[in-house]
Amino acid sequence: MSGAILILSGPSGAGKSTIIENASEQIGDFYFSISTTTRKPRVGEVDGVDYYFTDKESFERDIKAGEFLEYAKVHDNYYGTSLKPVREALEEGKLVIFDIDVQGHRLAREKLGDIITSAFITPPTLSELEKRLKSRCTDSPDIVAKRLINAKKEIEEINSYDFVIINDDLQKATEEFVTIARAARLKMSESDRSKFVDEWKAK
């Protein structure tokens, strides 16, 4: 595999999608991994664009078949990353970008640790996150409350990430993301480093 993996995590409302969109022309050829989920589509979401939407039975069947790089259950719904398109993108030398939660990051690290670069994206404060979630008017008050509780737990995992982007200024956050994406492409796997050492000694 000649590509690289960049995992992004952070609470819903942190601005991850906006940052990726703003940086898309500066980070080279990339594949944004689309998650599969059992939750219902929100207004305006399109199957195969925003998520692959499926039912719980099909998702659990694919779990047993080993079809996911990572998966997690969040707010009573499954979210996961199918392996096939990831493999294809890596073989094509693309930067594969994931937007997954801290559970998914942990599982992906266990499977593909040495080719993963990760960044946690967050608003500067919990109160700012609450303000953003309420202002976008896409979730009920109960869901917003659940997201805030989950965000408090997620922020505790910040030390397991390579980088942290505090999205207080969108332009600055985008510039930091571009730098991290370029660094991810330069990261060599353990096997690639060993191969280089052997070839270096032989010449």
Per-residue pLDDT band for 135 (boundaries 50, 70, 90) equals: confident
For residue 14, pLDDT beyond 80: yes
CA distance 30 to 45: 22
Domain with 176 in it: 4-202
- Packing angle between helix 170-186 and helix 16-23, nearest 10 degrees? 70
Name the DSSP class of 47: B
Evaluate if pTM is beyond 0.85: no
Confidence of residue 179 (pLDDT cuts 50, 70, 90): very high
CB atoms within 10 A of CB 36: 19
Count of domains observed in the chain = 1
According to DSSP, the residues that pair with 181 across neighbouring strands are: none
Q: How confident is the model at residue 63 (pLDDT cuts 50, 70, 90)?
A: very high
Give the rounded distance of the alpha carbon of 111 from its chain centre: 15
Question: For residue 47, what is the domain's CATH number?
Answer: 3.40.50.300
Residue 1 has pLDDT above 50, yes or no: no
Which bin fits 81, alpha (ψ -120 to 50), beta or left (φ > 0)?
beta
C-alpha closest to that of 128 among 150, 151, 146 = 151
Could you tell me the strand order of the sheet in which 77-82 lies? 52-53, 36-37, 77-82, 68-74
Q: Residue 81 in contact with residue 71, Cβ under 8 Å?
A: yes
Any residues with CB less than 8 A from the CB of 147 and at least 6 apart, and which?
A: 11, 12, 13, 75, 133, 139
pLDDT single digits (tens) 93-131: 899 999 888 988 988 888 877 789 999 999 999 999 999
Q: Which helix (H) or strand (E) holds 53?
A: strand 52-53
